[in-house]
Structure 1
Amino acid sequence: MTGRFISLEGGEGAGKSTQLRALGLVLRARGLEVVETREPGGSEGAEAIRTLLLTGDADRWSARAEALLFAAARTDHLEKKILPAIQRGAWVLSDRFLDSSRAYQSGASGLADADILALHRIGSEGKLPDRTLVLTLPEADAEARAHARDGDVSDRIGGRERAFHRAVAQSFVDYAAAEPDRIRLIDARGEPEVVTARLLDTLADLLP
């Protein structure tokens, strides 16, 4: 059985974690082994870096330091969890991957996209998901969902200003336009099961 690697992307409040769990249930019901994971994190070393990235003051890390930390976490995650699972035929569902680094560290933080891709080439040999599903929501809906989830307490990245998150959302749209075979935009409005059905439709060509 061929393993697959699927990443779910999107801004704060888009419903990635909810949809990843729902998608995992459906795929398991079809007899597939499913590994659910997240970034930053997913492996012991990457989870340690996650704590460094998401806690502390807003200015704890510069954009360049963040990019390096994310790249290091991804290398460990890929080597320790993602690749072994794919090699044994599992479907790996990851809540964020490379395109979040591109959107947050390049699109919204001002670093060059080419530099983020270079870090990924060096640290993770350029490995990309088989399909990247970007959940999209109108800005007001995304903010309402994020507030319902977090209240007034956000991590140091989620709590950034509106303009930052607007740039992140636009970056995902731009990446989908540039790589339509890999990256698909998914309307995240509506009941959760409706959104899950949209995800499955977009994966139909990969399903056994």
Structure 2
Amino acid sequence: MPVVAAAAQIANEEWDFFGKQEIDINGKTIRRGRKETDEGFWQRVGQYWMDGTGKNLTGENDDFPWSAAFISFVMRKAGAGDRFRYSAQHSVYIRHAVKARERGDEKYGFWGYALADSPIKVGDLVCYARQPGISVSTQSSNYKSHVDLVVEVTLGKALVIGGNVGNSVTRKAIELNSTGHLIDNTQPWFAVLSHRFDNA
């Protein structure tokens, strides 16, 4: 199965496993799922940590955000191989994708863009900052952020899935404009990591 299709399928399966927690386009939680510390679910978070980043943590280690471990798990299971920079920090692979675009690296699986510079498609990663002053031109690869995987795109809306959102695997709707660019204002979005797996 192609990487993009596999990633979307894996993310949807994990969302289903966690009870389909969902946030609507206004940022409101409309369905609650299972939590990271629930029996049978903290162990699954442990799989994300181990398979995604090689770290021996679980959902019971709730002082450690696992959202980047979730994305790393999905990309590794989907077969991204050495075309993704697996990390426990989103900022590491965000910066890597921006640098890949800047140097024209055709082999890396993602190129990082500002929101206005790349329309959203299934398989892309969308990024928001969890601290002030972060943009696609930030040179550091050490800052607080969050990333979701785009699993569906329709007119004016995309559905994205991420880990450790409300202590669960959560799907949310985000607003797009008529050209498919991210304009959602429920989070401080700043970057799109546009996948290049079809360009391999």
Q: Fold match, TM over 0.5?
A: no
Higher relative contact order (CA 8 A, sep 6+): 1
Q: Which is strand-richer, 1 or 2?
A: 2
Q: Which is helix-richer, 1 or 2?
A: 1
TM-score (norm 1): 0.30
TM-score (norm 2): 0.31
- Which structure would you say has the larger Rg? 1
